[in-house]
Amino acid sequence: LPILRWLPRYSRAWLPLDLLAGLAVGLTTVPQALAYAELAGLPLQYGLYSSFMGCFVYCFLGTAKDVTLGPTAIMSLLVSSYAFHEPVHAILLAFLSGCIQLAMGLLHLGFLLDFISCPVIKGFTSAASITISFNQIKNILGLQGIPRQFFLQVYETLRRIGDTRAGDAVLGLTCLAALTGLRAMKSHLPQAAPAEPLAVRISYLIVWIAATARNALVVLFAGLVAYSFQATGSQPFRLTGSIPQGLPAFRPPRFSLALPNGTVPFQSMVEDMGVGLAVVPLMGLLETIAIAKAFASQSGYRIDPNQELLALGVANVLGSFVSSYPITGSFGRTAVNAQSGVCTPAGGLVTGALVLLSLAYLTSLFYYIPKAALAAVIISAVVPMFDAGIFRTLWRVKRLDLVPLCVTFLLCFWEVQYGIVAGVLVSGILLLYSIARPPIKVSEGAVLLVQPGSSLHFPAVEHLRDSVCSRALAASAPRSVILDCGHVSSIDYTAVVGLQELLQELHRHGHSLAFCGLEDPVLQVLLSADLEGFQHFPSLEEAERCGGAEPGASGAEPFTSTTEST
């Protein structure tokens, strides 16, 4: 239990900082939870149900002091795709995702996330930023009956833009402008020095609190405006409506769904979720570990990825018992936590308690929150996820990485799962191609020097044979070939068979093949294979001297030409 590492040495000086951080994150969490539930297509109370269990679990099992678990925009988008706007599906998805994450943590399978490359992640998050933002335009404009599919959504929104409700549009744009201004104010707020006058430090604190709790302030302002109109007997806004008061019951998720015309069994529910059972847990893990690593490196401490998997898995499993949909690490709320000076994961206890208090006593006030204000909160949260600079950076650094980036980015507008799967497949193909076609440097001279640039595995054997034979067999006189394996750290059985065939082919034509610079593991493999005609020299210089004495060579001359094959 990671809590046992920091709790015994907990200092009283940390307590006010943890309390302040937990309160700041809580003021951000409550309005975001309502907004993300709307994005997931679920009743708004499920956003709050999903926001407290992760805080409590991570306090005991998490290894990063800054990370907060809860609903996020990306996870809500995925839930809307795979839960079909049905709470029973969403809760079961949280349970099954948690089980998968827990199993991956116990089996130390966190390395699988390394196969999701940065271009794929950037393509997904950038596309998600656009789709999520446009998904909320209907609430900003007060439109209803807009389909979920992105292209249909764009078409219907543009077609019905004349039906815009003026009240929702004005309020939504005002809230969006206020959130943007407060975000900019916080990013440009100078640090108040202790030597500054008390009034300056108090002013700094007020501005910092207002900017940090901007979501809560904007939602509160919009709610007061809506309540004022309601009191006068007119209501120009679409409101959130009634939210059930009280804490959710602690019970296991339902493994079947009762419908008026029958019951959907567990197997059918799982089949309906389909690839979501892989995408949701993997994206949850990816977000959490990426956030934990980012903030751990900034603060100078290390995290245990497998422990993070366990924490997230337990949070999702236990969360499903309190009607939570899948959760993950939140970058925005983690940033608030870190900027508030949190010292330990105990700050999550304050955040979780604030969410519980909201559920117990404040849900009746949420009735007056306009949907346009919640839409502004979501758009403000996801717009920074769009990284326009990544396209320019990859064009400058490695243009081939633009392929998985663009494939993921474009297909995510069709369906999220297609974009992620296609991006991973394209990245995998590029990775396999680099293994199958490693760089091979061929140098001409008294001997033919062949230098593979990486390890030899079975897809690369034919490429190596072609590179050697095309140069060695072109010579009229017999010559020596030296295979410098200084960069080869591993080799498999198929590669050994290919080397045996290369030896035989060169010997049939009167050429010799010698190996040099073999590392011990590779040398042991080749010796165990008992290759006919196998020669090994510890160094390249010794191999060149012996190679120069072969028939057809008069000595070890300088290499006269060099080519590389990729």
Q: Can you give the residue ranges of every domain in the chain?
A: 14-257+295-385, 388-436, 440-545
CA 118 to chain centre: 8
Closest listed residue to residue 461, CA positions, set 430, 483, 428, 486: 483
Query: Looking at the predicted structure, is the pLDDT value of residue 466 above 70?
Result: yes
Closest listed residue to residue 383, CA positions, set 375, 391, 392: 375
Average pLDDT over all residues of the chain: 86
pLDDT digits (tens, 9 = 90+) for 98-140: 999 999 989 988 787 778 788 888 888 888 889 888 888 988 9
CB 272 within 8 A of CB 84: yes
What confidence score (pLDDT) does residue 561 get? Answer: 43
What confidence score (pLDDT) does residue 170 get? Answer: 94
What confidence score (pLDDT) does residue 72 get? Answer: 92
Query: Looking at the predicted structure, is the pLDDT value of residue 555 above 70?
Result: no
Position 565 confidence tier, pLDDT thresholds 50, 70, 90: low
Number of Cα atoms under 13 Å in the Cβ half of residue 406: 9
pLDDT digits (tens, 9 = 90+) for 291-350: 887 677 666 777 788 888 999 999 999 999 999 999 999 888 888 888 788 899 999 999
Percent of the chain with pLDDT over 90: 34
Rg of the chain's alpha carbons, rounded to an integer?
31
- Distance, in Å, from the CA atom of 110 to the CA atom of 112, rounded to the nearest integer, reads 5
Instruction: Count Cβ neighbours within 10 Å for each residue of 29-47 and write b for 16 or more, e otherwise.
Output: bbbbbbbbbbbbbbbbbbb
pLDDT digits (tens, 9 = 90+) for 205-232: 888 888 888 888 898 999 999 999 999 8
What confidence score (pLDDT) does residue 94 get? Answer: 96
What confidence score (pLDDT) does residue 476 get? Answer: 64
Q: Tell me the average pLDDT across 388-395.
A: 90
Residue 220, token pair as written in the block: 């509160």
Largest distance between two CA atoms of the chain? 106
- Distance, in Å, from the CA atom of 114 to the CA atom of 371, rounded to the nearest integer, reads 39
Q: Tell me the average pLDDT across 383-403.
A: 90
Query: Looking at the predicted structure, is the pLDDT value of residue 272 above 60?
Result: yes
Position 234 confidence tier, pLDDT thresholds 50, 70, 90: confident
Query: Looking at the predicted structure, is the pLDDT value of residue 483 above 70?
Result: yes
Range in 415-419, 462-466, 532-536, 561-565 with the lowest mean pLDDT = 561-565
Closest listed residue to residue 60, CA positions, set 321, 345, 447, 487: 345
Q: Tell me the average pLDDT across 519-530.
A: 88
Residue 11, token pair as written in the block: 């200092």
Q: What is the DSSP string of 479-505?
A: -EEEEE-TT---B-HHHHHHHHHHHHH
Q: Tell me the average pLDDT across 266-281.
A: 91
Residue at 175: amino acid letter = C
What confidence score (pLDDT) does residue 298 get? Answer: 67
- Distance, in Å, from the CA atom of 131 to the CA atom of 110, rounded to the nearest integer, reads 29
- Distance, in Å, from the CA atom of 537 to the CA atom of 541, rounded to the nearest integer, reads 9
Position 546 confidence tier, pLDDT thresholds 50, 70, 90: low
CB 321 within 8 A of CB 253: yes
Q: Tell me the average pLDDT across 148-177.
A: 90
Beta bridge pairs of residue 515: 483, 536
- Distance, in Å, from the CA atom of 476 to the CA atom of 189, rounded to the nearest integer, reads 76
What confidence score (pLDDT) does residue 557 get? Answer: 41
The CATH superfamily holding the domain 440-545 is: STAS domain (3.30.750.24)
Q: Higher model confidence: residue 297 or residue 563?
A: 297
How wide is the angle at C-alpha 538 spanned by C-alphas 445 and 441, nearest 5°? 40
